[in-house]
Chains A and B, each alone.
Chain A
Amino acid sequence: MMDELRELYQEVILDHGKNPRNLRHPDDANREARGENPMCGDKFTVYLKVNDQKVVEDVAFEGRGCAISTASASMMTEVVKGKTAEEATALFHTFHDLCTKDDHEHCDHGPVDEEAMEKLMVLSGVRQFPVRVKCATLAWHAMNAALTGEAKASSE
């Protein structure tokens, strides 16, 4: 039983869950969106600073959630920083596939940062825990909503 749990809660996830990176509210953020999972009550706000060239100069989040959702939010901030809006969107969709679909079902969402996807692989364990997929994708939905100018996102 513990094998499955170790598969889901890999060391990297436990680390990001306990010590989330970029857990802050940047003063100069110009986009933000809330992500809510009404089932468990998790709430995140994702902040972006997007410049005129549509590059995400800064990304951070605030809120509370489980180990999976917090770790995923933390890792999202690390990989999205410095990406163009287009690249961030491609990462969102590719990551979403990683959490929800078998390998052969993954779609091409445009060029993605392969190194970032390597890092995010640790979260692919949620595929075996369908009810936890929403945890892993919550902050990503919020990030995508902030990019597209929506105020709210839900992983429902």
Chain B
Amino acid sequence: MSVTDIACATCFDVDRIRADFPQLSRNVHVRGGKKPSPGKPLVYLDSAASALKPRPVVDAMARFMSEEYANIHRGVHYFSQTATDAFEGVRDKVARFLNAPSRECIVFTRNATESINLVAASYGRTFLEKGDEVVLSIMEHHANIVPWQLLQMEKGIVIKVVPVDGDGVLDLDAYARLLTDRTKLVAITHCSNVLGTLNPAKEIARIAHARGIPVLFDGSQAVVHSTVDVQDIDADFYVFTAHKLYGPTGLGVLYGKFDLLKKMPPYQGGGDMIQRVSFEGTTFKEPPMRFEPGTPPISEVIGLGAAIDYVEGIGRDAIAAHEHDLLNYATQQLSQIEGLRIVGTAPGKAALISFTLDGIHPHDIGTVVDQMGVAVRVGQHCAEPLMDRFGVGSTARASFAMYNTRAEADALVSSVQAVKEFFG
């Protein structure tokens, strides 16, 4: 932590941050008519599903679309040039954000799901054969399961799954034992969207690399809650999505080591990814352009740039410290509720709490707390195998972001108490 970061951590001003998120001042369930109601102030605890957007992100996108718009990589005219510069500037920014060795390692996609599908389709189809193994973990989001199952159907690869213990900590010994001479790729989440477990990415990569196996990390949650350094981790592929990082939907990022990306054939074909096209044969551009056919989501990329500026302006360490305070506080308060079970208690976990209540279905929890303004996610969280592992059909999940407060944690706790009373 640098001197400025420490200064920032002590002056973390959540009220000032909240002022940047207009949605936080909205009331929900406002009603007119015969029985008017002013509704309830929104308590947004669903940022792990998608974070709210700060005004600078919205403004940057609006300004680009209304005043600076043009397609990129094509025109010779003024705004085409400025738009291209702005777009490519964000590629530089993302590279710095992940500490990638070069901008050529950063591919823009539609979302984290597409980033993983790109690797499965391009790298997987090219370098994996029948009987080759891909190692996943039990805590994967469906986005990091199904693309490999598609490859399994197509090529006959084998999928192996690393277990977790009762706290939701990845079993590293079991992981090391699962790796064989047939293992061709490890694909594991950096941070679980259900348990909050922050996996030891560097150790995971070290163990795989000792056998020459490349590793993909799903960083969709991790980039939001921690500082990620892809070179320090030594990740071969690292993916995340913009919308959980306070940016827009419709945009994901794939980081890949350049020598790997260079060996990979295109994932989709189209304009902007080719060197030369003829009906006798077509040659492709180098990465990352090879993987970005067609007009990309330009405004969204501009929005992601603004989101990264916003997050870095506040400081990732300061945000993490604030979120951990909320996590500890809420965990302590929730634990006092009888019959409440927290699923995922790994040390150093990210700021989200999945929980169940004895005898009350999470869907019913969600509906009741929503009436009190508290927005949580309920269900399987796109992680059905993990739900089975913990013997629950589903959970309720409260996730914390930079803009949440202890008062909101209190609101969560009292709303959960109300659920118990209601169904008691």
Indicate if A111 sits at the interface (CB-CB under 8 A).
no
| Most chain B beta-carbon contacts within 10 A, residue among A3, A41, A64, A68 | A41
Q: Is the CB of A40 within 8 A of B371?
A: no
Q: Is the CB of A41 within 8 A of B367?
A: no
Q: Is the CB of B363 within 8 A of A40?
A: yes
| Residues in chain B near residue A66, CB distance under 8 A | 361-364
Q: Mark A62-97, 1 if CB is under 8 A from B, else 0.
A: 001111111000000000000000000000000000
| Residues in chain A near residue B423, CB distance under 8 A | 9, 14, 67
Q: Is the CB of B29 within 8 A of A1?
A: yes
Known: A5-B422, A65-B361, A66-B363. A41 touches B371 (CB 8 A): no
Smallest CB separation, B377 vs chain A (Å) = 11
Smallest CB separation, B393 vs chain A (Å) = 5
Smallest CB separation, B369 vs chain A (Å) = 11
Q: State in angstroms the CA–CA spacing of A43 and B384 once bound together.
A: 13
| Most chain A beta-carbon contacts within 10 A, residue among B361, B378, B384 | B361
Residue of A5, A41, A43, A69 touching B368 (CB-CB under 8 A): A5
Smallest CB separation, A15 vs chain B (Å) = 12
Whose C-beta in chain B lies nearest to the C-beta of A43? B393
Q: State in angstroms the CA–CA spacing of A41 and B395 once bound together.
A: 10
Q: Mark A40-58, 1 if CB is under 8 A from B, else 0.
A: 1111000000000000000
Q: State in angstroms the CA–CA spacing of A123 and B394 once bound together.
A: 23
Interface residues of chain B: helix, strand, loop or mixed (majority): mixed
Indicate if B387 sits at the interface (CB-CB under 8 A).
yes
In the complex, which range does the number of interface residues on chain B fall in? 20 to 34
Known: A2-B371, A65-B361, A66-B364. A39 touches B40 (CB 8 A): no
Whose C-beta in chain A lies nearest to the C-beta of B384? A41
| Residues in chain B near residue A18, CB distance under 8 A | 359
Indicate if A135 sits at the interface (CB-CB under 8 A).
yes
Q: State in angstroms the CA–CA spacing of A56 and B367 once bound together.
A: 34
| Residues in chain B near residue A67, CB distance under 8 A | 360-361, 364, 423
Smallest CB separation, B378 vs chain A (Å) = 7
Whose C-beta in chain A lies nearest to the C-beta of B418? A2
Indicate if A132 sits at the interface (CB-CB under 8 A).
yes
Indicate if A59 sits at the interface (CB-CB under 8 A).
no
Indicate if B253 sits at the interface (CB-CB under 8 A).
no
Residue of A5, A14, A68, A135 touching B371 (CB-CB under 8 A): A5
Q: State in angstroms the CA–CA spacing of A2 and B418 once bound together.
A: 10
Residue of A9, A41, A64, A68 touching B379 (CB-CB under 8 A): A41
| Most chain A beta-carbon contacts within 10 A, residue among B37, B367, B368 | B367
Indicate if A8 sits at the interface (CB-CB under 8 A).
yes
Q: Is the CB of B384 within 8 A of A129?
A: no
Q: State in angstroms the CA–CA spacing of A75 and B367 once bound together.
A: 21
Q: State in angstroms the CA–CA spacing of A129 and B29 once bound together.
A: 11
Known: A1-B372, A14-B423. A41 touches B364 (CB 8 A): no
Indicate if A102 sits at the interface (CB-CB under 8 A).
no
Q: Is the CB of B367 within 8 A of A8?
A: yes
Whose C-beta in chain A lies nearest to the C-beta of B379? A40
Smallest CB separation, A30 vs chain B (Å) = 28
Q: State in angstroms the CA–CA spacing of A129 and B371 once bound together.
A: 11
| Most chain A beta-carbon contacts within 10 A, residue among B360, B384, B393, B423 | B393
Smallest CB separation, A35 vs chain B (Å) = 14
| Residues in chain A near residue B378, CB distance under 8 A | 40
Q: State in angstroms the CA–CA spacing of A68 and B387 once bound together.
A: 21
| Residues in chain B near residue A129, CB distance under 8 A | 367
Q: Mark B43-87, 1 if CB is under 8 A from A, else 0.
A: 000000000000000000000000000000000000000000000
| Residues in chain A near residue B422, CB distance under 8 A | 2, 5, 9
Q: Is the CB of A40 within 8 A of B367?
A: no
Whose C-beta in chain A lies nearest to the C-beta of B387? A41
Q: State in angstroms the CA–CA spacing of A69 and B37 once bound together.
A: 29
Indicate if A4 sits at the interface (CB-CB under 8 A).
yes
B interface residues, Cβ below 8 angstroms from A: 29, 35, 37, 40, 359-364, 367-368, 371-372, 378-380, 384, 387, 393-394, 422-423
Q: Which 7 A-B pairs have the closest CB atoms?
A: A66-B361, A66-B363, A41-B394, A41-B380, A1-B371, A41-B393, A40-B379
A interface residues, Cβ below 8 angstroms from B: 1-5, 8-9, 14, 18, 38-43, 64-70, 129, 132, 135
